[in-house]
Amino acid sequence: MGGFSFCWLEIKQFFVSIPVMGFFRCTILILLLVVCRSWADSKTDFFESKIRPVLATHCFECHGHKDKGGLKLDSREAILQGGDSGPAIVPGKPQNSLLMTAVQHADPDLEMPPRKKLSPEAIADLSQWIYDGAVWPEGKALGFATGEITAEQRKHWAYQPLKGNTAQTPAGENFIDAHVRGRLKEQGLQFVDLADRRTLIRRVTFNLTGLPPTPMEVEAFLKDQKMQEAILRS
């Protein structure tokens, strides 16, 4: 084979292989993304189920909003920054982490928590957590165990005062009915008539037992005014 045809063949093969390379690159990238994502999710779960409870129960009292020894343990940044003796952990290296020395009671001058020792499982979990890079969900500080509501948490809708058409609720009408009526009106619709007694007992029984009422139950309900009122109130 001559030099040119060899070169041409090479070039042709090169061009043909570009989309394939692109496809493979893409697939590998996506695979890596998926693997990274699920790895991060499992590490966050580990933090939530094993690490957060230990910190909250055994450390937060003195390293939460207080900072005994200059150390706070309520965020990854705070732990990395550490206290009077420097960083509390070295991600990936539990054996070099002051926090591990403290919880293992390896140094009689620094035994944490003071006077009691964590369970061997909790110590192993902390070690594993540091070994895995000390994953902390979304880098957020944890406002746990203080009972305080942070300004950030206060933005949640549940803390917002009621807004809407409370002022327009006609006297004697329920606020939710008035609200629904308003929206129906916008659509040119109106409420259907109130259900009759038979329909009500049927709905209630289906709701409570998953079965229709027996004819006897229907009769009993229709005769018993008190029962009707109680059900309508509920």
56 touches ligand HEC by CB under 6 A? no
82 versus 213: smaller Cβ distance to ligand HEC? 82
Query: At closest approach, how far in Å is the CB of 66 from ligand HEC?
Result: 8
Applying CB under 6 A, the site for ligand HEC has a residue count of: 23
Query: At closest approach, how far in Å is the CB of 118 from ligand HEC?
Result: 6
Query: At closest approach, how far in Å is the CB of 201 from ligand HEC?
Result: 58
91 versus 218: smaller Cβ distance to ligand HEC? 91
Dihedral sign computed on CA atoms, order 205, 207, 209, 210: positive
- Output the CA–CA distances (angstroms, integers) from residue 179 to 158, 166, 191, in the order listed: 19, 8, 12
Query: At closest approach, how far in Å is the CB of 136 from ligand HEC?
Result: 14
71 touches ligand HEC by CB under 6 A? yes
**Binding residue for ligand HEC (CB under 6 A) from 50, 52, 68, 179?**
68
Query: At closest approach, how far in Å is the CB of 36 from ligand HEC?
Result: 28
- Output the CA–CA distances (angstroms, integers) from residue 102 to 52, 142, 152, 227, in the order listed: 17, 21, 32, 65
Site string for ligand HEC, 83-122 (x = CB under 6 A): xxx--x---------xx--xx------x-xxx---x----
- Read off the DSSP letter of residue 65: S
- Distance between CA 59 and CA 95 in Å, rounded? 20
145 touches ligand HEC by CB under 6 A? no
Q: Look at the block and give the residue holding tokens 């027996």.
A: 214
Task: Report the site for ligand HEC in 172-211 (rule: CB under 6 A).
Answer: none
Determine the angle formed by the axes of helices 215-223 and 197-209, rounding to 10 degrees: 120
- Distance between CA 165 and CA 123 in Å, rounded? 55
- Distance between CA 99 and CA 85 in Å, rounded? 11
Compute φ and ψ for 107, nearest 5 degrees.
-120, 115
69 touches ligand HEC by CB under 6 A? yes
Q: Is the backbone of residue 140 left (phi > 0), alpha (psi -120 to 50) or beta? A: beta
112 versus 135: smaller Cβ distance to ligand HEC? 112
Query: At closest approach, how far in Å is the CB of 175 from ligand HEC?
Result: 48
Compute φ and ψ for 110, nearest 5 degrees.
-140, 85
Which residues of this protein are in contact with ligand HEC, per CB under 6 A?
58-59, 61-63, 68-71, 82-85, 88, 98-99, 102-103, 110, 112-114, 118
